[in-house]
Amino acid sequence: MTLSQNALTTLSAAKTSLQIPLSDTTRDSLIELLIESMSAAVESYCSRAIAQRTIEDEPHEVCGKKISLDQYPVSGLTKIVVNGSEIALDNVTLDSNAGIVTLPLSARGVVLVDYTAGICAGQSTTSRDIQLAVWKWLESVLSRESGEGITREQLGDYVVNYADENGWPPPIVCSLLEIYRAERV
């Protein structure tokens, strides 16, 4: 299996983080599957594209000049169609960090937008804190699978819970990703 462009880390980086020798290939397929799953879970948790991708025909009901794109930051606009007519992009203003498009004239109706958005352009540009979140989530899944990890200890009436069994994603992952969560409703 080859990792997709949306994978937020590499197999070798994940194995190094998990302290699995690179020469041990017995679980590579599982780890790659989990990398893909955890990358999608990170994007779902953050409610935005982390890995850069092209979005096509994203629909917006517009009444005015401004359009709030679903994904941001935006690295480029490809096409905007207002009520079936494509408009020239050189007349459009883009706040790329916020994903806000300002049309040259007020529009009313359906606007379709094609654009490229995402925080990182690929695995090599994924920030260390996002990669660490993926690695910690992988570690958590693998430790649950193998039954490793102490989640609770009890001595008489004294109980300490180290992890919420229902808490998902793990708290460290939430902390690492908090700054990337979408701010818009």
Residue 156 confidence (pLDDT): 72
90 in the Ramachandran plot: left (φ > 0), alpha (ψ -120 to 50) or beta?
Answer: alpha
Residue 146 confidence (pLDDT): 55
Q: Give pLDDT tens digits for 24-50.
A: 999 999 999 999 999 999 999 999 999
Residue 99 confidence (pLDDT): 94
Number of residues written out for the chain:
185
User: Could you tell me where the DSSP H helices lie in the chain?
Assistant: 11-17, 28-46, 128-146, 171-177
Question: Helix or strand or coil: residue 95?
Answer: strand
Residue 153 confidence (pLDDT): 63
Token digits for 63?
């009444």
DSSP state of 103: E
Average pLDDT, the chain: 88
| Residue 49 to residue 160: CA distance in whole angstroms | 37
Q: Which of 44-53, 122-131, 162-171 has the lowest mean pLDDT?
A: 162-171
Count other C-beta atoms under 10 Å from residue 177's C-beta.
21
Token digits for 58?
């994203």
| Residue 31 to residue 140: CA distance in whole angstroms | 12
**Which neighbouring-strand residues pair with 155?**
158
Q: Give pLDDT tens digits for 80-116.
A: 999 999 999 999 999 999 999 999 999 999 999 999 9
Q: Give pLDDT tens digits for 172-181.
A: 999 999 999 9
